[in-house]
Amino acid sequence: MKKTVSFSRDAANVFFHITTRCNLNCRHCYINTHQHGNETLPLDVVERWLNLFCQREGKANLVLLGGEPTLHPQLADIVKTARKLAYNSVTIDTNGYLFHDILSKVEPVDVDYISFSLDGATAATNDKIRGPGSFDTCLRGIRDACTAGFDVSVIFTVSRANIHELHLMGPLLQLLGVKRFFIQVIGIRGRSVTQRSDDLQVGKKEWIKIVPAEAERIARRGLTVTFPKVFLSANDTFECAGKVAQNYFIFPNGRVYRCPLCEDYPIHSLEIVQNRLVEKDPINEKDLFQLDIPEGCVMNKLIQPDNLSFSSDGTPEYRIACCLLKEEISPI
C-alpha cells in the first residue's frame, strides 16, 4: 500500500550529529566541518542536550548520526541515556564499520533500528562512491546486526553514479534480512557542492520513471520502502516542514537547523548556548520558510536550483516538494 507520509505534528524528530569524524570520504557527504565543527561531543554534553530536546517536546524520535556515530567511544551510553529519557524511538545511522564493538554493547531492545548506508548493489559501484572495501564491510555489518537480533534498515542515496543498480537492491536486501529501505535524493551540500561537475543529481524524468516503480517492486519482497516525494503534481499542496513539523538537526558546535538544506550556511534558527536552546535573531532559515513561491521549496530554489525547469514564459513547469516529504510503500 502506497501513501504520502505527512509531517508529524504530534512528535519531534531529533537528528543528532554526535561527531563529525568519519573513517570514509564519500563523494556526496553533506558534513561541512567549516560550518558544523570538527569535534566529538563528550558524553556529559550529549546527555544534557538529549535532555534538553526531550523536555522541549515530550515525545521525540532520535536518530544518532555523525560523521560516523560508532566512532564515538560512548555511543552505547548515549543510547541507554536516550532510553532512560523515554525517547519514542532510537536509531543509529552507520556506514557499517561498527566501531568499538557496538553490537555487543547495546541490546536490540535499546535500539529500534540500526540503519546502514549502502550506495550500490555491487562493490564496484558502492566503493567508487564510499571508498574501497566499504561494500563488503557494510554487508558484513548488516549480517552481524541481523544475526544479533537487531532490526535493520538500509539507506540508498540515489545519484547518477548508482541509479542503474537500484533494481538490484531488492534481491540483495531480501537476502540480507533487511526490513526497511530508505531511498534518498542527493542534496547539493557539503562535499557535493565541490563536485557539481560530477552531475550527481538525477533529473525529473529519470527519477519519476525509475524510482517509484523500483520502490514498489522492492516492497513486494516484504520491505517497507520510503522515498522522497521530490516533484509535486499539479494537484499536490506544498507544505514546508519547517513551518508545520518539529525536526531538529543538531551539530557538535551547537547549531540547530530545522531544514537540512540550510546546513551549509550560518542561517540556523536555533542554537545551544550554555546548554540552553535559544532562538537566533532574523534573518535565518525560519524567516525563509515563510516565503511562498511558485517553485515550491524556497531553499531548493536558493541552494540547488538545477532541478527546476521553466516554460518559455518563465513559469515553473513543476514544483519541488519539501525535502522531508516522503512516500511510503508497505510490504505487498
Closest CA to 17 of 182, 210, 252: 252
Amino acid at 195: Q
pLDDT (0 to 100) of residue 257? 97
Q: At what angle do helices 75-84 and 43-57 cross, to 10 degrees?
A: 30
Q: Position of cell 557538535?
A: 252
Is the distance from CB of 14 to CB of 62 less than 8 angstroms? Answer: yes
- Which segments of the chain have a pLDDT < 70? 1-7, 9, 194-198, 332
Secondary structure (3-state) at 183: strand
Burial class (CB in 10 A: 0-12, 13-18, 19+), 101: exposed
What pLDDT score was predicted for residue 4?
59
For the whole model, what pTM was predicted? 0.95
Q: Which domain holds residue 177?
A: 2-329
Per the CB < 8 A criterion, the answer to whether 134 and 23 are in contact is no
The confidence score (pLDDT) of residue 6 equals 56
| Side-chain-facing half-sphere of 201: CA atoms under 13 Å | 18
Nearby residues of 230 by Cβ (< 8 Å), 6 or more positions away: 185, 204, 207, 307, 320, 321
Q: Looking at the 3D structure of the chain, how many domains does it have? A: 1
Query: Which class for 290: exposed (0-12), middle (13-18), buried (19 or more C-beta within 10 A)?
Result: exposed
CA distance 157 to 159: 6
Other beta carbons less than 10 A from residue 2's beta carbon = 13
pLDDT at 194: 66
In single-letter form, the type of residue at position 17 comes to H
- Write down how long the chain is: 332
What is the identity of the amino acid at 31?
I
CATH classification of the domain holding 116: 3.20.20.70
pLDDT of residue 273: 97
